[in-house]
C-alpha cells in the first residue's frame, strides 16, 4: 500500500481534492471519468486516486453515518494527503422553500443529534466551542458557481446556501423534523455525514465544502423511490457540478 505524502494545504502546488459520497450511486460516473486511476483498499474502503479534469483527486465512498464519514475524511488527509475535501450526496429537505430536486450548499453544518447538556450547550461539539461548523467560504463559493452553471439547464431547480444538519438517523418523521426546525430555525436540509466531515476538517485545518441534492422531504414518504432518485437525478447532478468545479476552478 503506497502511503501518500501530505502537502501544505495553502500551497498553490500539489493540491489534491478528496471527493466523498456515502453511496456508490452518488458518485456514479466520477470513477469512470478519472484519468490514470489507481485503486487502493484500506479500512474496508476503496480509494481511487487519479485526475479529474486536470485536478488531482481521490474519490471514496464513506458509507453511511457520522463515524464512517469521519474515519474516511481523516484517512483522506492523513494517508492520501488530500488538501481539500468535497462531500457530495443527497439530503432531505428541512425547509418549505427547499424542494425535491433543489441543491443545497452548506455554509455551516451542525450535528443535530449532539447533546452533551448540561455539560455543554445543546448542539455544541464538546471542547470546540462550536455548534455550527463553517465550511470553507472560497470552496463553497466556487462550488456555488459551478452548481449555478449546471442548474441553468435544469427546469425549476434552485440553489440554496445555508445550514445543513447531520445525525445518525434517516429522518422520515414530520414531527421529528418540525422539532429540529424549531430548535434550528435556519436549517435547510438533513443528512447523515456532512457535519462529521466538517469536524474532522476543522480540527485538521482542511478546507472543505458540502453539496447536497434534495431527494425527499424528510417525512413519512422519504424512503419512497429514494434510490431511484439517487440513480437518475442526484448522480447526474453531482457529476455535472463536480465537472464544472474542476474545469473552472480546480481544487
Other CB atoms within 10 A of residue 228 CB:
11
Bridge partners, residue 56, by sequence: 51
Residues 6+ apart with CB under 8 A from 157: 101, 102, 103, 151
pLDDT in 10s for each residue of the chain, 251 residues: 444 444 444 443 589 999 999 999 888 899 999 999 999 999 999 999 999 999 999 999 999 999 999 999 999 999 999 999 999 999 999 999 999 999 999 999 999 999 999 999 999 999 999 999 999 999 999 999 999 999 998 878 999 999 999 999 988 888 999 999 999 999 999 999 999 999 999 999 999 999 999 987 756 565 666 778 888 888 899 999 999 999 986 55
Whole-number Å distance between alpha carbons of 248 and 229: 27
| Cβ proximity of 201 and 73 under 8 Å | yes
Q: What is the pLDDT of residue 221?
A: 63
| Active-site position among 25, 26, 28, 107 | 26
Maximum alpha-carbon separation in the chain: 52
Classify residue 33 as left (phi > 0), alpha (psi -120 to 50) or beta.
alpha
Q: What is the pLDDT of residue 223?
A: 60
Cell, residue 156: 425549476
Is 152 one of the annotated active-site residues of the chain? no
- Helix/strand/coil for 202: helix
| Active-site position among 56, 95, 107, 216 | 216
Q: What is the pLDDT of residue 2?
A: 43
Residues 6+ apart with CB under 8 A from 236: 28, 29
| Cβ proximity of 170 and 22 under 8 Å | no
Whole-number Å distance between alpha carbons of 181 and 203: 27
Q: What is the pLDDT of residue 222?
A: 57
Q: What is the pLDDT of residue 249?
A: 63
E strand residue ranges, 53-176: 55-61, 84-93, 103-111, 133-134, 159-166
Whole-number Å distance between alpha carbons of 22 and 27: 9
Q: What is the pLDDT of residue 12?
A: 39
- DSSP designation for 125: B
- Helix/strand/coil for 115: coil
Question: What distance, in Å, lies between the first and last C-alpha atoms of the chain?
Answer: 25
Is 102 one of the annotated active-site residues of the chain? no
Whole-number Å distance between alpha carbons of 40 and 53: 21
Cell, residue 7: 502537502
Amino acid at each position: 500500500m503506497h502511503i501518500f505524502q501530505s502537502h501544505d494545504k495553502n500551497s498553490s502546488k500539489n493540491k489534491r481534492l478528496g471527493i466523498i459520497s456515502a453511496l456508490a450511486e452518488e458518485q456514479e460516473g466520477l470513477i469512470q471519468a478519472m484519468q490514470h486511476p489507481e485503486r487502493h483498499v484500506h479500512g474496508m474502503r476503496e480509494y481511487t486516486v487519479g485526475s479529474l479534469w486536470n485536478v488531482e483527486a481521490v474519490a471514496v465512498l464513506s458509507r453511511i453515518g457520522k463515524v464512517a464519514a469521519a474515519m474516511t475524511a481523516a484517512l483522506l488527509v492523513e494517508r492520501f494527503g488530500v488538501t481539500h475535501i468535497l462531500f457530495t450526496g443527497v439530503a432531505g429537505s428541512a425547509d418549505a422553500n427547499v424542494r425535491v430536486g433543489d441543491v443545497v450548499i452548506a455554509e455551516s453544518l451542525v450535528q443535530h443529534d449532539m447533546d452533551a447538556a448540561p455539560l455543554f450547550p445543546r448542539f455544541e461539539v464538546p471542547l470546540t466551542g462550536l455548534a455550527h461548523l463553517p465550511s470553507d467560504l472560497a470552496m463553497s463559493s466556487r462550488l456555488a458557481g459551478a452548481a449555478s452553471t449546471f442548474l441553468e439547464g435544469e427546469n425549476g431547480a434552485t440553489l440554496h446556501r445555508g445550514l445543513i444538519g447531520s445525525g445518525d438517523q434517516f429522518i422520515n418523521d414530520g414531527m421529528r423534523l418540525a422539532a429540529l426546525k424549531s430548535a434550528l430555525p435556519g436549517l435547510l436540509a438533513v443528512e447523515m455525514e456532512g457535519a462529521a466531515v466538517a469536524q474532522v476538517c476543522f480540527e485538521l485545518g482542511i478546507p472543505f465544502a458540502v453539496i447536497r441534492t434534495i431527494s425527499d422531504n424528510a417525512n413519512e414518504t422519504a424512503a419512497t423511490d429514494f434510490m431511484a432518485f439517487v440513480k437518475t437525478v442526484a448522480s447526474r447532478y453531482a457529476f455535472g457540478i463536480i465537472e464544472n468545479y474542476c474545469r473552472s476552478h480546480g481544487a
